[in-house]
Amino acid sequence: MSDLAYASIAELGARLRARTLSPVELVEDLLSRIERRAELGAFITVTAEAALAQAAEAAEEIAAGRYRGPLHGIPVSLKDLIETRGIRTTCGSRILATHVPARDAAVAARLREAGAILIGKTALHEFAYGVTTDNPHFGPTRNPWHVGRIPGGSSGGSGAAVAAGLGPASLGTDTGGSIRIPAALCGVVGLKPSYGRVSRHGVFPLAWTLDHVGPLTRTVEDAALVLQAIAGADPGDPTTLGQDVPDFGAAVHRPVRGLRVGAPADAYHRVMAEDVRAAFEEALGVLRGLGIQLGEVRFPRPVEASIAHTAILMSEASSVHERWLRERPEDYGEDTRARLRRGQFVTATHYLRAQRTRALVREEVDGLLGASCAALVMPTTPCVAPAIGEETALVGGARYDVRDALTRMTRLGNLLGLPAITVPCGIGEGGLPVGLQLIGRAMDEQTILAIAHAYERETGWHTRHPEAP
At 94 the three-state DSSP class reads coil
| Residue (114 or 416) nearer to a copy of itself, CB | 416
In angstroms, give the least distance from the CB of 152 to a copy of itself.
27
> Which has the closest alpha carbon to 180: 407, 448, 430?
407
> Which has the closest alpha carbon to 198: 223, 167, 176, 166?
223
In angstroms, give the least distance from the CB of 332 to a copy of itself.
16
| Residue (67 or 208) nearer to a copy of itself, CB | 208
| Residue (263 or 317) nearer to a copy of itself, CB | 317
Which helix (H) or strand (E) segment holds residue 28: the answer is: helix 23-36
| Residue (126 or 316) nearer to a copy of itself, CB | 316
Q: How many C-beta atoms lie closer than 10 Å to residue 310's C-beta?
A: 19
Q: How many C-beta atoms lie closer than 10 Å to residue 257's C-beta?
A: 9
79 catalytically annotated: yes
The one catalytic residue in 22, 77, 79, 306 is 79
> Which has the closest alpha carbon to 265: 185, 373, 359, 366?
373
Who contacts 398 (Cβ-Cβ below 8 Å, separation ≥6)? 271
| Residue (238 or 291) nearer to a copy of itself, CB | 238
8 catalytically annotated: no
In angstroms, give the least distance from the CB of 365 to a copy of itself.
18
The one catalytic residue in 22, 77, 154, 158 is 154
318 half-sphere exposure, CB direction, 13 A CA radius:
19
The one catalytic residue in 22, 178, 199, 306 is 178
* Alpha carbons 461 and 219: distance in angstroms, whole number: 10
Which residues contribute to the site for a copy of itself (CB under 8 A)?
A: 311, 314-316, 318-319, 322, 343-353, 356
In angstroms, give the least distance from the CB of 314 to a copy of itself.
8
Which amino acid, one-letter code, is at 322?
A: E
| Residue (222 or 237) nearer to a copy of itself, CB | 237
| Residue (338 or 398) nearer to a copy of itself, CB | 338
Which helix (H) or strand (E) segment holds residue 76: the answer is: strand 75-79
| Residue (238 or 295) nearer to a copy of itself, CB | 238
Strand order across the beta sheet in which 375-379 lies: 43-46, 117-122, 75-79, 169-174, 212-217, 189-192, 420-427, 433-440, 375-379, 260-264, 293-297
In angstroms, give the least distance from the CB of 50 to a copy of itself.
35
Who contacts 99 (Cβ-Cβ below 8 Å, separation ≥6)? 88, 89, 90, 91
At 50 the three-state DSSP class reads helix
In angstroms, give the least distance from the CB of 343 to a copy of itself.
7
Alpha carbon 315 to its chain centroid, in Å, reads: 22
* Alpha carbons 200 and 198: distance in angstroms, whole number: 7
> Which has the closest alpha carbon to 84: 107, 116, 56, 52?
107
**Crossing angle (nearest 10°) for helices 302-320 and 334-343:** 110
* Alpha carbons 241 and 40: distance in angstroms, whole number: 37
In angstroms, give the least distance from the CB of 312 to a copy of itself.
9
In angstroms, give the least distance from the CB of 338 to a copy of itself.
16
What positions carry a catalytic annotation? Answer: 79, 154, 178
